[in-house]
Structure 1
Amino acid sequence: MTTIILKLVRLFYNEKVEDACTRLLYFFNTLNSFFIFSGLASLTFLVWYLKLTDVYLNPIALLTMFVSLIAFFIILRIADFYPTFILFNLPAFILLISYAGGSIALQSLIPNIIIFALIQAIFMGVPDSIVGRNLGIIPKKFLWSLITIAPTTVSFLISVYFSLHLTLLLYVSQIPKSPTINLALWGLILLAGLLTYAVRPRNKYSKNFRVPHHGAQYKRVILLAIDGCRYDVFRTLKLPNLEKLASEGARFKNGLETIYRALTNPGFASLMTGCPPEVHGIRDNNFGQEIRVEGLPDITPTKIYGSMHMKHFAKKEWEVKVISLPTHSIYHSDDEMMKLLKEDLLRDSKTRLFVTDFSEADFLGHAYGSTSEDYKNAIIRIDRRIGEFVEWLKLNNLAEDTALIVTSDHGTSEIDHSYKIRPGEKYVPCILWGKHLKKGYVYEERYSIMDIPCNIAYLLGIPYPNKARGRVFLEAFANIDAEAEKTKWVADMNNAFYSAFSNDYIEEHPEIYEGDGQWWSHQFHRLLSGPLKDKKINILDFGAGAGFVGQTFQGLHQLQDRVQDFVVYDSNKEILETAKSYLKKGYFRFESSFETIEKNEKYFDIIAINSVLHHFYDPKTILERLKKLLKPGGIFIGAHEPNKRFFRNRIAALLASLFKRLGGGKTFDDQKLETMNHYLSNLYGQKLHYSKEEIFQIAEFHSPIEQSQYGVDREIGFDSNVLENEFYKDFEVLELKSYTSFFHRKNLKKFPVVQKILERLFHSLFKSGNLLSYVVRSV
């Protein structure tokens, strides 16, 4: 039987036929199209069987059912067909069955099951049997589908549930019922959709160290993607060639996290663009979608190799070489791919990025299970192919100028993937190899596959794709001082940020000027009439910004004769000019060079640091430099630093996140964004573009509340222990407390009643505040 099918394949096959067939297969096997086909087909059977054509095939009934179908589809798109919808929707489903009746529910279930079995066999089992050269795949796939959870016909439960739900929903649409019941039914379904939307996975970017490049590190990069390679299985196998690559380069101990949804087309689109499906536009493997942002092949000459999947996710103008799985079989297609790759490497000196998709492991995982010996042996064979390829590169004098990245688009659980419910589908391996990498470097942290294109761009010395987000793995490079690079990057981002805000900083930050002013006035009065009385003092306002601390002191008329030298320092010259326009007293001296200030050791009686430390990559190192400038018995005054302990409170984090979602978070207009990107592009002499979220994330480096557009990072910030026992461990603590200036934020000032309500609510819920202030003395 298999031989006959193969002869037919060879007789009628061409790439256009395979293209059309593959699209047809995914149309019937992808849930968002399958459930409509199966649900409508089952309803048609039910109407015919029960002889209800007069009831269901009149114009009003058809219109009602069409509206119901569209409404249900929209709700499911909101829920993204995520499995928790089944749980949240249980009340609506029970109500649906009670209206339809148990007999109708059963009669609807049977055709949906039959259609599922036929679709799976015809549009998945038979093609897989051809590619795998084994008709036994058909029954095995059906048995596996009984326990698999995925939005395809590889999952019996998910496929039949949604198609049955549609059949019943359309059936009861023609049963007379009160408007209240109808409203309750749709209200429950909508609620289930919204709850599912709230809990389904979100794509998270790695923290932005997408630093400007320093020119090309390599002539070419080869991305060796092992399709469907789950990291938990990968790490248990003996893979001598990949282990050797890891020992000569860098690896990720806990793998990388794939995107949601964890599917081939969205995954590869993310590997080319550096952004998630909701941004690049490829949400699943179905047709009718295209990449709508810039990808690496739009920037540098690229060749892509693999199965028909590669052609379907790619833009039309990208160069894709398709290896036919039906023609070569799954056991030889990867060898054919490597043959093509080698030929191109020898004759093509212009292409700089080569992207391969090893199909064997993914296919055998779908066919036999992702913990089967077939799947494991496929990964072992891929290891051998990669090992042979590396030796070939060396033999042909190509290894010196080549960087290799070994990773995957997604993992697998049972025989499918998508929902990221289990670790098997969430995490994939990653190995970096090339001459500039530290040997045996290991990343303990877990990052994202969306970081891969950022690293490819960095390695090739080309611009990042315009919507790429993520980090460059600087720590793995032997020829780069990663800490110095990150320190400089955070400082440069802050300079870009404050240059854009130099003219309206005061207006934009009432939470500092109104929220902190009284406390600073009190501290100056207290210190100059206490520990520092009867002497002329020198003050350093470090990171002065628009001169808030100086303005506060300038307003304390009875203390004006107590200051000898008041140095106002900020590295940003533009915002320092703003400070000059407000600080008119003769004792003010303005500096933009910290190195100049450092020449005066043990000079200052007071060093003021307001809303500064969290802007530095390494605040501890900055403080060590500042301590050398302080006189014995001198005092640090600091405030407006983020209190990590406050955000460890889940209620506080939840309310902060909700406040941001309601529009209360910090933001700025597009003109300022353009100004910042223009500043950075000029500074580094290359095209750079960063989003508002990325800029906040780096400029407010240690701020829990500015790390994402809507969320709160509960793991960063400072707490009293850090300040007392790390930053100022040799100092006497005169005051250390938490507080909030939240109610003075610009977007709340317009609503004084809301301001008061939120203030009372805040103090009734929390004993501490989201900010820290302190006064410490050198001993």
Structure 2
Amino acid sequence: MKKASTFEKIAARCWNLLNEGKPFTPIFVIGTMMLYHLPDVGNVHHLQLLLLSALVVLPLFAIYYVYDFPLFLRNYLWIPYVAFLIIWSFADVKLLLLAVGLYFFFTVFFWGTLYYHLRIGTTWWNFTRFWKLVLKNSDSTSGNAQEQLPKFLLLLSLWQWAYEQPSVPLGQLAVFYFAIFLFAWILHANLFDWKPKEITTYTNNVVPTTAINDKVIVIVIDGMRKDRFEQANAPFLKSLRANGTEFTQMETVYPARTVVCFTSMFTGTYPFEHGIRSNMVWKLGINVESIFDSLRKVEKKGRLLGIAHLVDSFGDDVETVTAVMHNDVADRNIIERAKLVMDEQDPDLFIVQLIATDQTGHSRGVLYDEYIQKIEEADRLIREYVEWLEAQGKLDNATIIICADHGQADGIGGHGHLDEGERYVPFFMYGSAIERGKRVDEKKSLVSVAPTIAYLLGAPYPSHSRGPVLTEAIRKKGNDENAKSDRLFTSI
């Protein structure tokens, strides 16, 4: 399987400019205005007016960049637009129709059909479903029609209105913008209340000790929604869970973006501290130690096999895989590469990211059969990999952790602002050092992953690790029943 090329890494970062809602809105609005005024592009006076009127709209660009309006908050976005129509009675119908047409062409045909066909082999007919997913998507990405439409309709209308005015009433506009800012601030202060509670202290629930395990294998099924996992026919994974320790209330971090979640999982802390706040990474690298840094302190090695996005956080600790391949072979190729990395490098910690479930959710939706089929495919591939590890003697004293980084909501499999299906993820541990048949119902957080790995491998906790070690899962000394290695995976 090919590694992600330099071009793919750069392209992935560029794509996030169009995928993340914050940068998409200004890019789309500016691009639409340029196309609308293309016939006058050679007129210097016209260009000057266009630039001057753009300055008039900058405060609103800033407000909409600072404040997301995900989930039910997006319903309130129509109020400022209706207020504009009432106050100034202005609507350039041609401009607005152009904008709506361009938006749905970009999301439904360019992104949902052409892009996914070329990248992961989705059918050319994907637009027949994708338009419904865009209308239902609740997360603050470019694919959230109910958030993007009122934003860009107001921005374009204000810009075109300012362009056509012989004299712009700046005082009125200042009052209007202040009202929108106050409106957004009040909404977020009183209604934006669903973020997970952050742990305020650093990891201190157990003192690091000598290594319990020789290896820890973490398999992250990207975007695996918890309730859909329960509905899937996944006998191997569910047997690992039944014979290990399950954490039934494992909570992801906020915002639940892949790069944010992986960074929090393997540093043990939150975006405000490690510095990765979305998939759109403006500054490469993290501000704190990772689990890979901790392992180096005790002369051990960790590797992460994942997509190009993760290089933005972990740099050379990532063994990249290309995400440009048919989705039906993506996880198969990743598992084959995982065998190769384990065989050639033999890391003490090995993290493997499976991507087909997440990609199916984004391209085809999470509430369709294709999504469950990818979970079932992951179950078969993980069984194959675990049996291969056993045959290679890599599991004699190892812990296996199976989890997702986040769930996915309805629509285009959106995730970030913790809609239904995103917040809680499957999470269970299995191995000779792990309690068998145990279920922990207390709420936990994915920031506990890094310190738990450090504890198992006898390494210091990462510098800013806040999650408590998941000691509930770790077998107490002298518990002979749990110490038995019954080769579960070969008996299913």
TM-score between the two structures when normalised by the length of structure 1: 0.55
**Which secondary structure state, in structure 2, belongs to the residue aligned with residue 57 of structure 1?**
helix
Measure, in 2, the Cα distance between the counterparts of 1:209 and 1:344.
33
* Structure 2 contact 91–157 (Cα < 8 Å) conserved: no
* Structure 1 contact 438–478 (Cα < 8 Å) conserved: yes
**Pairwise mapping of residues 406-555 of structure 1 onto structure 2 (< 5 A)?**
406-414=402-410, 415-479=412-476
Please point out which of 40, 59, 62 is paired with 1:74: 62
1:202 aligns with 2:190: no
Alignment-mate amino acid for residue 109 of structure 1: L
Deviations 1:436-478 (A, max 9, x none): 1110110112211122112111211212222221211112222
Please point out which of 16, 29, 36 is paired with 2:26: 36
Counterpart in 2 of 1:285? 279
Distance change in 2, residues 1:165/1:307 (3 Å): same
Counterpart in 2 of 1:143? 132
Distance change in 2, residues 1:90/1:188 (3 Å): farther
* Structure 2 contact 53–162 (Cα < 8 Å) conserved: yes
Question: Could you tell me how far 1:417 is from its partner in structure 2?
Answer: 2.2
Counterpart in 1 of 2:489? none
Measure, in 2, the Cα distance between the counterparts of 1:197 and 1:50.
41
**Pairwise mapping of residues 110-129 of structure 1 onto structure 2 (< 5 A)?**
110-120=97-107, 121-129=109-117
Measure, in 1, the Cα distance between the counterparts of 2:42 and 2:126.
40
1:322 aligns with 2:320: yes
Distance change in 2, residues 1:275/1:109 (3 Å): farther
Deviations 1:520-542 (A, max 9, x none): xxxxxxxxxxxxxxxxxxxxxxx
Counterpart in 2 of 1:647? none
Counterpart in 2 of 1:227? 222
Deviations 1:557-603 (A, max 9, x none): xxxxxxxxxxxxxxxxxxxxxxxxxxxxxxxxxxxxxxxxxxxxxxx
1:189 aligns with 2:187: no
Alignment-mate amino acid for residue 424 of structure 1: G
1:265 aligns with 2:269: no
Question: Could you tell me how far 1:231 is from its partner in structure 2?
Answer: 0.6
Distance change in 2, residues 1:284/1:169 (3 Å): farther
Question: Could you tell me how far 1:410 is from its partner in structure 2?
Answer: 1.0
Distance change in 2, residues 1:346/1:44 (3 Å): closer
**Which secondary structure state, in structure 1, belongs to the residue aligned with residue 266 of structure 2?**
helix
Question: Could you tell me how far 1:206 is from its partner in structure 2?
Answer: 5.2
* Structure 2 contact 246–428 (Cα < 8 Å) conserved: yes
Counterpart in 2 of 1:402? 398
Question: Could you tell me how far 1:52 is from its partner in structure 2?
Answer: 13
* Structure 2 contact 138–419 (Cα < 8 Å) conserved: no
Counterpart in 1 of 2:82? 94
- Structure 2: give runs of 5+ residues left out of the alignment: 296-300, 479-492
Question: Could you tell me how far 1:360 is from its partner in structure 2?
Answer: 0.7
1:298 aligns with 2:293: yes
Distance change in 2, residues 1:325/1:47 (3 Å): closer
Counterpart in 2 of 1:741? none
**Which secondary structure state, in structure 1, belongs to the residue aligned with residue 352 of structure 2?**
strand
Counterpart in 1 of 2:481? none
**Pairwise mapping of residues 334-733 of structure 1 onto structure 2 (< 5 A)?**
334-349=331-346, 351-414=347-410, 415-479=412-476
Question: Could you tell me how far 1:67 is from its partner in structure 2?
Answer: 6.1
Question: Could you tell me how far 1:48 is from its partner in structure 2?
Answer: 5.5
Alignment-mate amino acid for residue 21 of structure 2: L
* Structure 2 contact 212–457 (Cα < 8 Å) conserved: yes
Distance change in 2, residues 1:100/1:324 (3 Å): farther
Distance change in 2, residues 1:32/1:480 (3 Å): farther
* Structure 1 contact 407–428 (Cα < 8 Å) conserved: yes
Question: Could you tell me how far 1:373 is from its partner in structure 2?
Answer: 0.8
Alignment-mate amino acid for residue 444 of structure 1: D
Measure, in 2, the Cα distance between the counterparts of 1:352 and 1:370.
34
* Structure 2 contact 113–123 (Cα < 8 Å) conserved: no
* Structure 1 contact 29–123 (Cα < 8 Å) conserved: no
Deviations 1:599-622 (A, max 9, x none): xxxxxxxxxxxxxxxxxxxxxxxx
Question: Could you tell me how far 1:259 is from its partner in structure 2?
Answer: 1.5
Measure, in 1, the Cα distance between the counterparts of 2:294 and 2:158.
48
* Structure 1 contact 129–136 (Cα < 8 Å) conserved: no
Question: Could you tell me how far 1:36 is from its partner in structure 2?
Answer: 0.9
1:161 aligns with 2:161: no
Deviations 1:275-321 (A, max 9, x none): 2223222222224243222211222222111233333x3333x2322
* Structure 1 contact 250–440 (Cα < 8 Å) conserved: yes
Which of the pair has the greater relative contact order for Cα pairs under 8 Å at 6+ separation?
Answer: 2
**Which secondary structure state, in structure 1, belongs to the residue aligned with residue 216 of structure 2?**
strand
Counterpart in 1 of 2:298? none
Distance change in 2, residues 1:166/1:289 (3 Å): farther
**Which secondary structure state, in structure 2, belongs to the residue aligned with residue 315 of structure 1?**
helix
Question: Could you tell me how far 1:56 is from its partner in structure 2?
Answer: 6.0
**Which secondary structure state, in structure 2, belongs to the residue aligned with residue 225 of structure 1?**
strand
Distance change in 2, residues 1:178/1:163 (3 Å): closer
Distance change in 2, residues 1:54/1:374 (3 Å): same
* Structure 2 contact 219–354 (Cα < 8 Å) conserved: yes
Higher mean C-alpha displacement, 89-98 vs 460-469: 89-98
**Which secondary structure state, in structure 1, belongs to the residue aligned with residue 101 of structure 2?**
helix
- Counting aligned pairs with the same residue, the percent is 23
Measure, in 1, the Cα distance between the counterparts of 2:242 and 2:401.
14
Alignment-mate amino acid for residue 304 of structure 2: I
Measure, in 1, the Cα distance between the counterparts of 2:432 and 2:116.
40
Counterpart in 2 of 1:310? 310
* Structure 2 contact 224–425 (Cα < 8 Å) conserved: yes
Alignment-mate amino acid for residue 325 of structure 1: A
* Structure 1 contact 129–138 (Cα < 8 Å) conserved: no
* Structure 2 contact 196–254 (Cα < 8 Å) conserved: yes
Question: Could you tell me how far 1:186 is from its partner in structure 2?
Answer: 0.9
Measure, in 2, the Cα distance between the counterparts of 1:234 and 1:355.
20
Measure, in 1, the Cα distance between the counterparts of 2:127 and 2:307.
21
Measure, in 2, the Cα distance between the counterparts of 1:67 and 1:459.
57
* Structure 1 contact 84–196 (Cα < 8 Å) conserved: no
**Which secondary structure state, in structure 2, belongs to the residue aligned with residue 111 of structure 1?**
helix
Question: Could you tell me how far 1:133 is from its partner in structure 2?
Answer: 4.5
Distance change in 2, residues 1:330/1:463 (3 Å): same
Higher mean C-alpha displacement, 272-281 vs 261-270: 272-281
Distance change in 2, residues 1:354/1:403 (3 Å): same
Distance change in 2, residues 1:109/1:238 (3 Å): same
**Which secondary structure state, in structure 2, belongs to the residue aligned with residue 326 of structure 1?**
coil
Alignment-mate amino acid for residue 229 of structure 1: M
Aligned length, in residue pairs: 462
Deviations 1:641-677 (A, max 9, x none): xxxxxxxxxxxxxxxxxxxxxxxxxxxxxxxxxxxxx
Distance change in 2, residues 1:84/1:148 (3 Å): closer
Alignment-mate amino acid for residue 113 of structure 2: G
Distance change in 2, residues 1:463/1:80 (3 Å): farther
Alignment-mate amino acid for residue 185 of structure 1: F
Alignment-mate amino acid for residue 331 of structure 2: D
Measure, in 1, the Cα distance between the counterparts of 2:253 and 2:121.
28
Deviations 1:47-68 (A, max 9, x none): 5679997886327x63562363
Question: Could you tell me how far 1:164 is from its partner in structure 2?
Answer: 2.3
Measure, in 2, the Cα distance between the counterparts of 1:269 and 1:204.
18
Alignment-mate amino acid for residue 43 of structure 1: M
Question: Could you tell me how far 1:391 is from its partner in structure 2?
Answer: 1.8
Measure, in 2, the Cα distance between the counterparts of 1:85 and 1:243.
37
Distance change in 2, residues 1:325/1:88 (3 Å): closer
TM-score between the two structures when normalised by the length of structure 2: 0.85
